[in-house]
Structure 1
Amino acid sequence: MFVDKAKIYVKGGDGGDGLVAFRREKYVPEGGPAGGDGGDGGDVIFRVDEGLRTLVDFRYQKHFKAERGEKGRNKSQHGANADDMIVRVPPGTVVVDDDTQEIIADLTKHGQEVVIAKGGRGGRGNTRFATTNNTAPEIAENGEEGEERWVVLELKVMADVGLVGFPSVGKSTLLSVVSGARPKIGAYHFTTLTPNLGVVDVGDGRSFVMADLPGLIEGAHEGVGLGHEFLRHIERTRIILHVVDMAGTEGRDPFDDWEKINDELRLYNAKLEERPQIIAANKMDLPEAEANLAEFRRRLAETGKDYAVYGISAVAKSGVQELLYKVMDLLESIPETPVVEELPEITERKVYRLEANEDQDFTIRRDNEAFVVDSPSIEKLIKRTNFSTHESVMRFARILRKRGIDKALRERGAKDGQTIRIGDFEFEFVEQE
């Protein structure tokens, strides 16, 4: 089964919680803090595997969650970091964020890796909070949550040569003749509903990969027919082999067919107009094909485009070998680098240093009687704070005062007992004496 699009959920592992612990050893009646840090959560990493050719595995598994880091240990021991989750994808996979529609990665080379969801940092143990004023703190952080997102995977077939043309012009027949591929062939439109790949042995020790792409029709660039589902596969091919029914068996003009398909390619992606193209004038064993080919060459010359035209009959296998030699020679004369999306370098996510004084990193608004504080860094702090201990609560309150949030709430009119909401966390405002 060929699957070229899938939507999946990925989540990095949560960081392990830090530990509150103290030395309890013989002859050390008042040992200091000994709680270790939690381990980091695992990342979700996509890795290209050239042995894969489809996204069918993602039809049956749609959720990928990395493991959580271990909790901190006694004797100041660090919890183990979780292993990364490796997700194998075929070459040609484009990863798109489902919310923003931003392209995250364009994966084309075997072994290429990219972090799609980063794991959370482990929480700090109480040894990290010891000071000269508080030598035995009962404070430890919870692990940070791992990143999570829905992503759409789009596979653009990686092939040296892409067969394009109207339905029923003989693309599948040609692929079956020159390679070991056995695509479905029938005497009706859209016999091919998914791309078919075949390795073509030219016969002189050289070979290349050819893709039979489903037939295009007018309006394909706007999604008409099966348009967008298959046009994206053409973007990856190094050469376009344009198959034309030169006998006009369905009453269409061969040159008009050629122009219409080229227009669809150009309207979908203007760069495709610059892609090297060879024209395979198929069905030359049928009546009127010779006359049509002569007219086709004349009209092509008038356009000023210097495309090679080869008369062939895929059914009779005539002219096919000469065509393959030309394709192979052209492939060897152009760069082997596949066409990829121009993406900015992936940068690390922003990490908030919660103890720092980050002025204006918050906004305050009213929601009926409650005051709502919007602050990404404070919301992260809440998730990492263990509110079950008094010292952790007091530390959280100190950070709010240091950041100026208390003062800003008073200036907005907050009074004793009024509800303050930060993310999903609610508490009562208490005016300090």
Structure 2
Amino acid sequence: MRAMVITTGEEILKGEVVDSHASWISERLCELGVEVVRHLSVGDNLVSLKEVFSRVAGECEVAVVTGGLGPTEDDLTTRAAAESAGVPLVEDPVAAASVAAYFKGRHVAVPASNLKQARLPKGATCIPNPVGTAPAFCLELSGTRFWFLPGVPREMRFLMNESVVPAIVGLQPRGSRLVKTAITTFGLPESVVGERIAGIESGFPGVHVGYRASFPVIEVKIWAFAQEDAGVAKRQEAASAEALKRLEGYVVSEAGDSMAEAVATALCGAGQSLAVAESCTGGLIGNLLTDVPGSSDWFLLSAVTYANSAKEAVLGVSAETLEACGAVSGETVGEMAQGARRVSGADIGIATSGIAGPTGGTDEKPVGTVWIGISTEGGTETHRFVSPLKDRHQNKRIFAFKALDLLRRKVKVGDRENG
């Protein structure tokens, strides 16, 4: 089954809003074994909307459209759908009940402008919206089944999961499914990752390879659409094993987990707690870690000790070390990591201090230099890394990921040794 995703709105075309809807919907469709063949974005223009709907109709089995179902004059998707189908807009009793129920639940009368949302193309199937004012609807155009969803993210996702996904599952051939492996890597540029993976598609027929870069992490997706025949699934499994072999030493996760999630898994598996002391990364490590649900179980402290005085007062770094070695040094981050561990009572303390740029570098310590300290009951180790980049924000991010990767490796090694 082939599908297209259409997102509407002038804000998308003007770059004011990132089109995250298309990627989210595509991922859900692919999980169902639906092949997404095209993304299209169109503004709030009646002629343009009709042209896109007419172009898509008959070219695929499924189309998912988001946006333009609101009560204002520039919400034109419903009208465009009706005119594309050659049918009038009529008041739909299910849609009217959905709109009325939403406002009744908030103890207010239905505003006159929202009555527009109860008018759907004649023959369309209404999908009530319990979490918003705009009912969704399904309409067939030239053999393509279109689902029209609100553009509000919460509403779109709810209706996609609750109504569209079950409907598409019912349309799928028996046994159709997506088999996918998502490999998160760190430490190699995208070009090198591509070179290492080259040839896998040709070597395993029916298997596809995709890449998603989210600096400084590269995710490699190995996927295939499998039917009842297990042959494609077995080739996908073999291709994934080959990819993991070629990327050995740089794999963070074999399940598509983020770096922070991989660290969390390692810490939880080892039963270890963590404290973080940051200088150049400015709290970014703590932010990444606390994005992981359940991080309060093992994350005890985040201290942004940017000034030398804070390093001394909060973490107990000695003035003599700072004077003799400087803030960006192995000696200083070692004492910072020890201090974070001591103050918090955590099993592990990590610390960063560096020069993110674009200024502040010297011949001895150029822009891009970072020192990372890791302190455990068994001792303290420090690592120096020099990024070739000069951009401050990119360096802060790569410093944070480098620290997390060293931590992840350290915990996994310790867990194996103890096991």
**Range class of TM-score, shorter chain:** under 0.3
Q: What TM-score results when the alignment is normalised by the length of structure 1? A: 0.23
Answer 1 or 2: which has greater helix percent: 2
Q: Max radius of gyration: which structure?
A: 1
Structure with greater contact order relative to length (CA < 8 Å, sep ≥ 6) = 1
